[in-house]
Amino acid sequence: MSTALAPRLEDLEDKSFDPFEVEKLSHGRVLDPYPTIRKLMAKSMVHKGPYRELFDVVPNVQMAGLPQYTIFGYDTLQKVLLDPETYTNAEAFRRTLGVSFGHTVTVMDPPEHTRFRRIFQRAFLPQVVAKWGETVVDPVVNDLMEGFIHRGEADLIEEFTHHYPFQVIYRQLEIGPEQAPIFHKLAIAQLLSSIGKPQGDEATRKLGAFFAEFLELRRASPGTDLISHLATVEVDGERLPDDVLISFLRQLMNAGGDTTFRGTSVLLTGLLTHPEQLAAVKADRSLIPQAIEEALRWEGPVLTSQRYAAKDSVLDGVKVPAGSYLDIALGSANRDPSKFPDPDRFDIFRDRTVRNMAFAAGPHVCIGQHLARVEMTRALNAILDRLENLRLDTDKPPPVIYGQNLRCPDHLYVRFDPS
């Protein structure tokens, strides 16, 4: 399918506005949120008030004045995430992600959620995703590495991880490289509605119009791209309605691109700051899956999710009244010492009896988790194959992971033998 059949994206009216910098500020510069989380967990797994108020970050204006609780701990989170009748999604996200993305599966409860999730799961079957690894992911990874492999040094965040999952999406959609920067800009800007930035609503509107036109073109002339695939996949004769599909595409850059960028950045940071583990993975590639799972546990790309209490309930001895909004601290579950001994240590060899919650749990577990793992695997294999004698660049600042919700380093300076 030629990218000439893609519609034209309309940029933000204020072309000087930088949503990337504003988004960074909205997530704070917290270096280590875990001591605060652990101190609160020692008192109770349930605390009144929003997660953001625990840190010095920009407040979420969409939730101002609403009753809110923050939930900590692996077992308590499991209780919430596995009980979708008591702790629901639709109302939890209607004021937040629903404003940015529209009628997406994240903002649904059963039976509607069950119907549409079955179709999305069919679209993202592991065997389908595995094919994308060869046809889409590998070419993107190789193209990016060609930009620095001859130098013997690079910033793996700025030159690699910050680009490759988004470029995978561009290729899957067949948008065309000339439109990629505006697409990425609008996708990030959508989220700024939460802090009251007008560019958030503007980006949501413009991406919605773009995808509506794009979908119409693909229905008239389907190809091998992701939109054509999603428009034609069906379960028991039912396909995705346009509003659900367009909302999913609005969310794709953030749910599929941003989290994979952060997850891969953390994976490489963990391995490079533990060179003995990097050497072990390089020598034995069968260790890659457990390295990925440890990175997702150690510094999951998203530390919180949300739910809405549809009924009165009791969590860890605390009464949570119906009508409350819950911040689900996924990061607290992944660093829960009752489940993961010495939880602050990055250790790819730790026991895997307990699953991490990087992709949440229950009926709303992340649809794209298989693709995220494929992308992380392909990226790590390529780096281990092509960057000989890979190591941190000790002449430059070491990587620093920060953020109280979305976590990632800004830079990852490395050296290797040029080729």
Kindly report, residue by residue over 331-342, the tens digit of the pLDDT.
999 999 999 999
Q: Residue 371 has what pLDDT?
A: 87
**C-alpha–C-alpha distance, residues 138 and 140, integer Å:** 5
Could you tell me which residues are beta bridge partners of residue 313?
320
Residue 72 has pLDDT above 70, yes or no: yes
Contact predicate 155/411, CB 8 Å? yes
Output the pLDDT for position 413.
98
- The span from the CA of 176 to the CA of 170, in Å, is 7
Q: For residue 285, give the nearest of 345, 355, 343, 348 by alpha carbon.
A: 348
State residue 397's pLDDT score: 97
Q: Which of 411, 309, 323 is nearest to 88 (CA)?
A: 309
Q: From residue 39, how far is each of 45, 47, 244, 336 by CA, in Å?
A: 10, 12, 41, 12
Is the pLDDT reported for residue 160 higher than 70?
A: yes
- CA distances from residue 84 to 41, 188, 308, 309, 320 in whole angstroms, order as listed: 23, 29, 9, 9, 15
Q: What is the pLDDT of residue 1?
A: 39
Report whether pLDDT(382) > 90. Answer: yes
Calculate mean pLDDT across residues 85-94.
94
pLDDT of residue 289: 97
Interval 109-120 mean pLDDT = 93
pTM above 0.85, yes or no: yes
Domains annotated on the chain, with CATH:
3-415 (1.10.630.10)
Strand 391-392 relative to strand 401-402, pairing: unpaired
Q: What is the pLDDT of residue 315?
A: 97
Q: In Å, what is the CA distance from 245 to each residue of 2, 188, 237? A: 21, 19, 16
Confidence of residue 65 (pLDDT cuts 50, 70, 90): confident
User: What does the alpha-carbon distance between residue 94 and residue 145 come to, in Å, rounded to a whole number?
Assistant: 40
Over residues 192-215, mean pLDDT: 91
- Average pLDDT estimate for 263-281: 98
- CB-based contact 225:173 (threshold 8 Å): yes
User: What does the DSSP assignment read for 110-169?
Assistant: TTHHHHHHHHHHHHT-HHHHHHHIIIIIHHHHHHHHTTTTTTTEEETIIIIITTHHHHHH
In sequence order, what are the residues at sequence separation of 6 or more whose Cβ sits closer than 8 angstroms to the Cβ of residue 405? 27, 28, 51, 52, 57, 302, 303, 304
Res. 280: pLDDT tops 50: yes
* pLDDT at residue 255, as a whole number: 78
pLDDT tens-digit series, residues 22-48: 877 777 778 999 999 999 999 999 999
Looking at residue 147, its pLDDT comes to 95
Q: What angle do CA 168, 171, 173 make, to 5 degrees?
A: 110
Closest CA to 136 of 148, 126, 128: 128
**Quick one: what percent of the chain has pLDDT higher than 70?**
98
Tell me the per-residue pLDDT of 42-64, one tens digit each, with 9 for 90 and over: 999 999 999 988 886 677 777 87
Between 4 and 257, residue with greater pLDDT: 257
Tokens 């509605």, located at residue? 193
How would residue 383 be classed by pLDDT, with cut points 50, 70 and 90?
very high
Q: Which of 155-169, 217-231, 284-298 has the highest mean pLDDT?
A: 284-298
Q: What whole-number distance in Å separates Cα of residue 141 and Cα of residue 362?
A: 32
pLDDT the model gives residue 2: 44
Q: What is the pLDDT of residues 228-249, one digit of tens each?
A: 999 999 999 999 999 999 999 9
User: What are the CB-based long-range contacts (under 8 Å, 24+) for 49-56?
Assistant: 50/325, 50/327, 51/304, 51/327, 51/329, 51/404, 51/405, 52/327, 52/404, 52/405, 54/404, 55/28, 55/30, 55/404, 56/28, 56/30
pLDDT higher for 413 or 54?
413
What's the mean pLDDT when you consider all of the chain?
Answer: 92
Helix (H/G/I), strand (E/B), else coil: 171: helix
